[in-house]
């Protein structure tokens, strides 16, 4: 941690100025909902259910599915909102510096490091402590990475 011991050093100390684009955040949340449907209902529905031990579990009724969708929606809002701040911190211009990374590089850094440092380790802990299989980790961690990439590309390109 850098401390500012002189008035001149204190003047040089900057905090990032992060501008959020709420339309990009809203679009990202919607895309996250669509991606979740495709990922878990079309691409990996049987494999995910098998790894969860839910092959013979009947489909949830409307009320249970509605509750799950609301929770998933709120989780997407939280992820996108915090990710937008994280992406903003990666911008050199937020610190009064230049040049900024390209939108592609910015999206890759933001999604990649967020996934590697936060999402992947949490999924790996499911193997360590919940006795889940690596196949489930692959499905869920793949979804997390894909979702973070989608969110980051939207946020980085729509400033």
Which tops the pLDDT comparison, 3 or 24? Answer: 24
Whether residue 6 is contained in a domain is answered as: no
Whether residue 146 is contained in a domain is answered as: yes
Residues 6+ away with beta carbon under 8 Å from 104 = 153, 156
Whether residue 30 is contained in a domain is answered as: yes
pTM of the model: 0.88
Span 86-121, pLDDT tens digits: 999 999 999 999 999 999 999 999 999 999 999 999
Give me the helix-helix angle, 134-157 and 22-37, nearest 10°. Answer: 150
Whether residue 28 is contained in a domain is answered as: yes
Whether residue 148 is contained in a domain is answered as: yes
Dihedral sign, Cα of residue 112, residue 114, residue 119, residue 122: positive
Whether residue 137 is contained in a domain is answered as: yes
Span 26-72, pLDDT tens digits: 999 999 999 999 999 999 999 999 999 988 878 888 899 999 999 99
Domain range for 54 = 18-157
Compute the distance between CA of residue 87 and CA of residue 66 in angstroms, rounded to an integer: 31
Residues 6+ away with beta carbon under 8 Å from 17 = 94, 96
Whether residue 2 is contained in a domain is answered as: no
Whether residue 7 is contained in a domain is answered as: no
Local confidence band at 13 (pLDDT 50, 70, 90 cut-offs): low
Total domains in the fold of the chain: 1
Place of tokens 């299989």: 133
């Amino acid at each position: 941690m850098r401390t500012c011991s002189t008035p001149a050093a204190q003047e040089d100390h900057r905090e990032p100025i992060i501008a959020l684009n709420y339309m990009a955040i809203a679009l990202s949340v919607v895309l996250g909902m669509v991606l979740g449907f495709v990922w878990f209902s079309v691409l990996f529905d049987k494999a995910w259910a098998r790894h969860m031990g839910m092959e013979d579990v009947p489909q949830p009724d409307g009320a249970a599915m509605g509750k799950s969708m609301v929770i998933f929606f709120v989780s997407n809002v939280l992820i996108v909102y915090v990710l937008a701040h994280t992406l903003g911190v990666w911008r050199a211009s937020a610190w009064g510096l230049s040049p900024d990374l390209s939108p592609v590089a910015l999206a890759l850094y933001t999604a990649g490091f967020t996934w590697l440092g936060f999402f992947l380790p949490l999924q790996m802990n499911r193997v360590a402590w919940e006795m889940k299989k690596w196949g489930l980790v692959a499905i869920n961690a793949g979804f997390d990475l894909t979702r973070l990439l989608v969110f980051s590309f939207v946020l980085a390109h729509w400033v």
